[in-house]
Amino acid sequence: MSVQDRFIKYVKIDTTSDPASETFPSVPEKELPFADMMADELRAVGLSDVVRDVNGYVYATLPANLPAGDDESAHPVLGLISHMDTAPDAPGAGINPRIIEDYDGAPIPLGEGLVLDSENFASLKGHVGKKLIVTDGSTLLGGDDKAGVAEIVTACEYLLAHPEIHHGKIRVAFTPDEEVGRGVDFFDVPLFAADFAYTMDGGKLGEIEYENFNAAAGSVDIKGLSIHPGSAKGKMISAVEVAMEFQSLLPAFEKPQHTEGYEGFTHLISCEGTCDRAHLDYIIRDHDHALFEKKKAFLFTIADFLNKKYGDGTVTVTTADSYYNMKEKVEPYMFLIDLLKESCEELDIAPIVQPIRGGTDGARLSYMGLPCPNVGTGDYNCHGRFEYVCVDEMEGAVKLIVKLAEKFGKLSK
């Protein structure tokens, strides 16, 4: 089966994860059946040791295929990882992908009055003459990360069909709930038993990423003093107005819409409140750990200022770290990046080494003892209705996995 056909098959199945859920996986009635299907697919392709565990993780082995007399144990085990859930930022049920066979550069009507065009989405300029898959405007596409899932399965199928390509043992894993930050909460690193791994998770073909944000969540609870407005003078403290003041005290240009590259941000993702009570939710991001800590600390500084102004206990801040920059854990193994760059160049793919303005399962796995850079899959504008994939790049990603597997088979431990 082609990577295109696999991808279309996978995205038509709703696996939207839910950040508000207290179960794991977050939406078991959606995610577990898809995990079962993927386990069956891997068995059908010919992989061994296929396991779908109680938490919805799928693990499998592509056995080593080395020249006669070559000891498998002398070579590192390569891991390939993608996530099965899709983001809750846009609808993920009833996905109706549409193929653009030979993109001519013109605006693409999606439906529901939406138009995908190069004026707003510059990546399209590089895809003239390419085959694209787009949405119908009512949902996201699911390329994040079913493009990666389809590419890994297709590459494994290709390697099994071409025994002349020698490679060491390869471990495959598909995870649930990456999009809600829980993708490796129960990942069994000892069971996976790979020495090094790569996530195939979004972005332009050729993207190589081993730096990501340090990430934290911040919560702000505000207690007001609700008094009848007719007699409120000198007494009322409006919690929702204090919340607005809290937000106004954050640096105006340290927001996502004003930052790029290595620049971090503090982003208000939700706000609710009345005169009596208010609540703010933030995400805090920065590549630099010292600046990351400074951003978190500044939330407490604002709270201290407002508590002096309105009274102790008016504002309470809590923060919780989510993941850290994998750079520290990958840099001792820079051959992982060198192998990717070499593989790209040999396939006439331009390698693009850049930081991730986000995170992947690989960031947390790197801190769990499994160094795990990220590789681009050909997916663009993820998490929204303007998402699309370039089929040519997905096919290129399959070739890149095959080339990487071949190179890993020549490495010595």
**Cβ–Cβ < 8 Å for 333, 218:** no
Amino acid 351 reads P
Which token pair is 264? 């971090």
Which token pair is 111? 């439906």
Place of tokens 């002349």: 164
Q: Which residues contact 257 (CB under 8 A, 6 or more apart)?
A: none
- Nearest CA to 19 out of 318, 265, 269, 255 is that of 269
Q: What are phi and psi of 348, to 5 degrees?
A: 60, 35
Place of tokens 């207690």: 223
Task: Please say if 85 is a catalytic residue.
Answer: yes
* Of 178, 179, 254, 286, catalytic: 178
User: Cα separation of 123 and 129, whole Å?
Assistant: 13
* Of 85, 144, 379, 395, catalytic: 85
User: Cα separation of 240 and 247, whole Å?
Assistant: 11
**Cβ–Cβ < 8 Å for 266, 280:** no
Dmax over CA atoms of the chain, in Å, equals: 90
Which whole-number Å values give the CA distances from 17 to 119, 176, 277, 351, in the listed order?
31, 8, 29, 32
Q: Which helix H or strand E contains 50, and what residues bound it? A: strand 48-52
Cis peptide upstream of residue 361 (ω within 30 degrees of 0): no
Task: Please say if 179 is a catalytic residue.
Answer: no
Strands 78-83 and 170-175: parallel
User: Cα separation of 240 and 228, whole Å?
Assistant: 16
Helices (H) and strands (E) in the chain, counts: 10, 18
CA angle 342, 365, 181 (to 5 degrees): 115
Which whole-number Å values give the CA distances from 172 to 3, 56, 83, 189, in the listed order?
17, 14, 11, 12
**Catalytic residue numbers, as ranges:** 85, 178
